[in-house]
Every structure is written in C-alpha cells, then in structure tokens.
Amino acid sequence: MEAIWSWFEWLYEAHGVNLSIFYDSLDRDRFFFGLLTTIRLSLICIVASVVIGVVGAWLQTSRFKWTSRLVQGYIQFFRNTPPLVQLYFFFFAIGGVLPKVPDASGHMVPPIGNFTWAAISLSFFAGAFNVEIFRAGIEAVPKSTSEAAEALGYTRLQSYIYIILPLAFRVCLPSLNNNLVNLVKTTTLAYVIAVPELLYVSSQIWSDQFNVREMMNVLLFTYVGLVAVLVFMMHRWEKTLKIPGYGR
C-alpha cells in the first residue's frame, strides 16, 4: 500500500492534484472516520424511519380517531417544514432547554449529543414520508385478504403483521427505495451541527490542504458509491419478495 500512497504524493508534486486523503495518514484517518460516521448515521436513520413508517401506518388504520389525527399532525409537521429547520429545532430549541449533566470528567454537557439529535431529526423527517408510503401499500392490498385472515381467526394486529404488511412491503418497495436514497443524501445536513460525517471532515481537510476541487470530486463519487450500494440491495430485496399480481 505504501507504493500507492507514494504515487498519490508524486501526483500532487508533479501535477498539483492534491488527494491528500491517500498520501497523508491524518487526512486519510479523518476521511475514513467521516465515512464510517455517515454510514452509521444512515443505517440508524433507515431502520428508525422504517419502524416509524410501519407503526404510523398501523395507527392510521386504528378505530380510534385520535390516533389517526395524531399521526396526521406528525406527518404534516415533518413533511411541510425543511429538514434543516427541523434539525436546528431539535438541536437548539429542544436541546437548549434540556438540563445539562456531568460527563466523566465532571464538566456539564448536554444529555443528548449532536449525532443523536441528527439521527432523531432525520429519522422523524424520513419517517413521515414512510408512513404515507406504507399506508399506500396497505391500501393496495385487497380488502378480501384481511377479511380472509379474520375468517381464519387472526386478530387485527396478527393480520397486519403476518399478512397485510408483507404484501404491502412488496407494493411500496420502489417508493420506499426512493425515500431511503434521499435520506442517505440528506445526512449531509448533519454538517451544520458539527456531526463529523463526510461533508464535515472533508471541509476540515480542504481548509487545511486547500484542495477544495479534489475533495469535492472525492465527495461526489463517494456518495455515488454509497447510494449505488443501497439501490443495489433494495433492488435485490425487491426481486426476492416479488409475487405475481403484487407491486405492478
């Protein structure tokens, strides 16, 4: 590997292409840490937003009107406001009024860190869209299916978990795929509250190395790769779950 790092250093010295993340160990470690942070934040938000979507879609079908209205209020709040404003709201408005707690060294710090606030905010934002996606998938399942499940002795919750939801998943996977791709790209907003994700660490690197052009290209292709992996996995999952008559 040393030969590869040396080649990138030669490339900078000979042609001015400063890809310091390859030949400088400090920049390489910083960029790799930012990549891992972005992946971790994306995975947490994907799982949390899907859970929110599944639960929210279930509550929308509840016999109690107040649960449906509560979910609708949540959807309208998070779908009709910019995600950057939501992130600021959680971090400054809510986080600012929480009582501080002592850390291991005795300093008073906020009880919730910036990474956690980013995960909470982005999960709620994507979850609002996922609720509508799953609701549309549930409505696409023929009503006779749930009636047949009830005739077989399934409770309403059992019917939803074991029959309706698996069929709805097949219908809404393409829309869910689009929303999750947007979610991964939206994680760059965590930059504004100093979460050390890809964009944040890249800005530190180009501030030190004055290689904005090179780092912007690296960022672009890195996100293309991350999204490509997600799309590939979602398409494979979609093909695995495909049933004739559903999802077309």
| Domains present along the chain, CATH in parentheses | 24-240 (1.10.3720.10)
Mean pLDDT is lowest, of 47-61, 100-114, 214-228, for 100-114
What's the pLDDT band for 131 if we cut at 50, 70, 90? very high
Amino acid at 71: V
More confident residue, 186 or 8: 186
Distance CA 175, CA 140 (A): 13
pLDDT at 244: 65
Token pair in block for residue 235: 């398409």
